[in-house]
Structure 1
Amino acid sequence: MPEQLTPNRSKHDPELDELLIDAEADDEQVQQQPVVLRRPWLLLLGLVLVALNLRPALSSMAPVLGQVSEGLGLNASAAGLLTTLPVLCLGLFAPLAPILARRFGSERVILGILLTLALGILLRSALGATGVFVGSLIAGASIGIIGVLLPGIVKRDFPAHAGTLTGVYTMALCLGAAMAAGSTVPLSQYFGDSWAMGLGFWLLPALLAMLVWAPQARQGHGAHQVAYRVRGLWRDRLAWQVTLYMGLQSSLAYIVFGWLPSILIGRGLSPTQAGLVLSGSVLVQLISSLSAPWLATRGKDQRLAIVVVMLVTLGGLFGCLYAPISGLWGWAVLLGLGQGGTFALALTLIVLRSKDSHVAANLSSMAQGVGYTLASMGPFAVGLVHDLTGGWAAVGWIFAVLGLGAIVFGLGAGRALHVQVVSERV
């Protein structure tokens, strides 16, 4: 009979409570077999380099989206689909990650998927309109799979420093996004004003990450010897609140990645200036991505923090869209502070709302799979609204709906509760 680990202890059977506690302790001893890392610094370097590659394929397109659309004859709706496809694939392919990891091992899967990421970037810049869409799809699918696996490796191989290294991982994501947003246009100009070369440049960091990660795939660090399944998660209200908060705040983030430069170009900035504004805003996220979760865990729950960071995000978005252009950098900084906090809190909620690591892994898969699929609708809606109205003013309604929705579900997800599920050994 599989033992059941329920998030709430029985209040009427102390003996059963004691047996359950002993069973969990035995499971933890089996699960947490000591792992001897031959070169932990190499693993850490590999993790950072892999994380750096999880956003350039997304944020590099935005600054040159106008050139790509003009060169390939795409209207705004088609351009919106181009920004939507990678984000949609983040969600659709996330559930595939644990299946592949159980079959081949996380390290080998990451190495192989880095290769598919590089292939997607190459196709996107080399095969015209078809290649742009197919390459974007492959790149998004690759990022979705790797993004699910990296946090698990951090928790397994650096259990004593999981929080710190998760912060480093998040910072690497932001840094990769900022680098691509700020340098893709200058790179395109350097290579003869070719947007294809500017996008194709991001093949090189992926190949470098493969080279550094290869030793991890060869030696492997093993996997958990005890498999668990979690039942009841998809029927749990709190789990859906966490998932919808993740999806709605992510939708705003990918609208920024996909459309903010185009919005700013429409307001009179050059493509280079617009890319730098996006890059600067993403760099500011490094500050709040570390500080917001720390501050949020000082109180009794996270509801106030969720409302504050989302209101800051909306303030920055509306400032970039409507305020005088002379104060643009101030609004971009405000936007970065808000979005760094919303993303980091979304990841933090997955951990805080889970009773144990098995539930956390399954909640993470649900939140990313459903959340990113939902998030992909935002960039597409922006492109559609722009196509219908011929301008950007109406996009503010999309910002408002998504932001207020994130606050509503965030207020539910921010309560100091655990998802009510059963975790059992199989």
Structure 2
Amino acid sequence: MTFSKQAFSKLPWRFLLLMILVGLNLRPALSSLAPLLHRIQQDTSLTPLAIGALTTLPVLCLGVFAPMAPRLSRQYGPERALSIALVIIATGLLVRWWPAPAALFIGTLLVGAGIGVAGSLLPALVKRELPHGADIMTGVYTMALCLGGALGAALSIPLAEWLGDWSHSLAAWSLLAFAALIAWEVAMPRTPPLKHQPGQTGTGATVGLLRKPLAWQVTLLMGSQSSLAYIVFGWLPTLLVNRGYGEAEAGWLMGLSVLIQLISALGAPWLARLGRDQRPALLLVLGCSVAGLWLLLMGDTSLKWLGVTLLGLGQGGSFSLALTLIVLRTSDSRLAGRLSGLAQGGGYALASLGPLGVGIMLEMQVGIAAVTWLLMAIAAVAAVCAWFAGRSRQLAFAEDGSLTTLKAPRR
């Protein structure tokens, strides 16, 4: 698919800019925490296991609250539901201003809940606003997520130095969340509610998805690649410090890796269009992630820049493609919303086991080599899921309202 000048001029630019602004808020709350874990542990006396629970909590909340997005969308409309999610994110970030363990956990829970709902709503909105170019627009949205994540990781330590405290650094990101909320409320799309269609409301569609292998394949891919991503968000700076890097350098390396994700987040959907399906693109980006992690954690320190580059290219591309599969494997925006809730809800619930597992391993003083092999095993699971989820298939409603799996149409 290519965009003509006429089609380019008809793109919903206001929605795209809003989508980018909202996307910028869905990662700093997570990525800004990891570089500060050492300071947090010193000031609060939290054990490594408690720190592991803290890094796991937002990912678990993504899984628990993402399935609520379709219900909120039906009750309030997707636009208003997204506003609610932004309010929750901003509130959670403000709660982190109080430098106490209870506030840190409560704020992180709220942030995870808001991000879970917002992240599940956006793919369906993208499918609705630009149905014939949703895969490319998902890449743009993912690029915004990556940029937000990079800013959160890279600026976390400098903000703490400037503002005088790690809690102020974490809470400062609420300003960006409030800016997005105001912009969304002022300029969000105004659309009439969609009429009821058989099989597309209530719980029937979700139950039907649970019976479809394709839905599970997309969900497991989302979960396994997200597990790698949130281990990096939660623990990569700590693992690099254990290898001998300085605290600030470890934060910058992680930030650079997330910044590099911008390239593959936008480019991976284009790459996926070159073949009959998305399997080659998925396996390529997963291979880059594996190579990058191995070089950073096991390779010579002189190869750190190559490792950072490969990790960034791999993780940006794998997350972008996983989100793209949600819109490519569904025939309309409502079904995309259902699959988004299932894939991100179930996927993130599974992904939360990754950061928790690393936290337990570090509590037991297991070496970096064992952690690295755990990451390799998760990547192998992701590759198997990618092989099946990447096939050219699509979930659609039949005339009688039942859910069926068809060969995906040409794009």
Q: Normalising by the residue count of structure 1, what TM-score does the alignment of the two structures yield?
A: 0.85
1:418 aligns with 2:394: yes
Separation in structure 1 between the aligned mates of residue 266 and residue 383 of structure 2, nearest angstrom: 21
Matched, 1:138 2:99: no
Give CA deviations for 1:315-374 in whole Å, capped at 9, x if unaligned: 101111011212211100010111111111212222333344443332222111100110
Partner of 1:276: 252
Structure of higher CA gyration radius:
1
| Corresponding residue number in structure 1 for 2:193 | 223
1:232 to 208, 220, 232: 208
Aligned pairs for 1:177-326 within 5 A: 177-192=149-164, 194-216=165-187, 220-227=190-197, 228-229=200-201, 230=205, 232-326=208-302
Task: Say if 1:241 and 1:385 are closer, same or farther in 2 by CA, change over 3 A.
Answer: same
Q: For residue 168 of structure 2, give the secondary structure of its aligned residue in structure 1.
A: helix
Residue 189 of structure 1 aligns with an amino acid whose one-letter code is E
The residue number in structure 2 matching 1:113 is: 85
CA distance in structure 1 between the partners assigned to 2:328 and 2:185 by the alignment: 33
Deviation at 1:390, TM superposition (A): 4.9
Structure 1 equivalent of residue 56 of structure 2: 84
1:154 aligns with 2:126: yes
CA 1:422–1:137 in 2, change beyond 3 Å: closer, same or farther? farther
Alpha-carbon distance, 1:402 to partner: 0.4
Q: CA deviation at 1:407?
A: 1.0
Partners of 1:232 and 1:420 within 8 A in 2: no
Q: Which residue of 2 aligns with 1:104?
A: 76
Give a deviation string over 1:78-118, Cα, whole Å, max 9, x none.
11110110011111101111111211122222222212211
Structure 2 distance, partners of 1:406, 1:179, is: 27
Asked whether the 8 Å contact 1:236–1:420 carries over to 2, the reply is no
Distance 1:45 1:264, change over 3 A: same
State the match for 2:408 in structure 1: none
Aligned mates of 1:411, 1:164 — CA distance in 2: 21
The more displaced of 107-116 and 416-425 is 416-425
- Partners in 2 of 1:349 and 1:391 — Cα distance? 36
TM superposition shift of 1:42: 4.6
Matches within 5 A, 1:40-55: 42-55=14-27
**Partner residue in 2 for 1:381:** 357
| Residue 401 (structure 1) shift | 1.4
State whether residues 83 and 184 of structure 2, in contact with CA within 8 Å, keep that contact through their aligned partners in structure 1: yes
Runs of 5+ consecutive residues of structure 2 not aligned to the other structure:
1-10, 403-411
Matched residues in 1 for 2:251 and 2:35: separation?
5
**Separation in 2, partners of 1:400, 1:45:** 37
**Residue identity in the other structure for 2:57:** L
Residues 1:362 and 2:333 are matched in the alignment? no
Tell me the distance in 2 between the aligned counterparts of 1:317 and 1:206.
31
Aligned AA for 1:376? S
* 2:51–2:359 CA contact under 8 A, matched in 1: yes
- Tell me by how many angstroms 1:179 deviates: 0.4
Q: Out of 291, 305, 308, which is 1:332 matched to?
A: 308
Q: Distance in 2 between matches of 1:108 and 1:284?
A: 33
Structure 1: stretches of 5+ with no match in the other structure: 1-38
Residues 271 and 423 (structure 1), Cα distance of their counterparts in 2 relative to 1, 3 Å cut = farther
The CA distance in 2 between the partners of 1:155 and 1:412, in whole Å, is: 22
Correspondence list, 1:23-42, <5 A: 42=14
* C-alpha deviation, 1:424, in angstroms: 5.7
Partner of 1:70: 42
CA–CA separation in structure 1 for the residues paired with 2:113 and 2:289: 27
Corresponding letter in the other structure for 1:93: F
3-state SS, counterpart of residue 418 of structure 1: strand
Question: Residue 351 and residue 331 in structure 1: after superposition, are their counterparts in 2 closer, same or farther (change >3 A)?
Answer: same
Greater mean alpha carbon deviation, residues 293-302 or residues 143-152: 293-302
Are the aligned partners of 1:175 and 1:282 in contact in 2 as well (CA < 8 Å)? yes
CA distance in 2 between counterparts of 1:424 and 1:277 reads: 53
Cα contact 1:42–1:212 (8 A) shared by 2? no
d(CA) in 2 for partners of 1:74, 1:424: 56
How has the CA–CA distance of structure 1 residues 43 and 405 changed in structure 2, closer, same or farther, with 3 Å as cutoff? Answer: closer
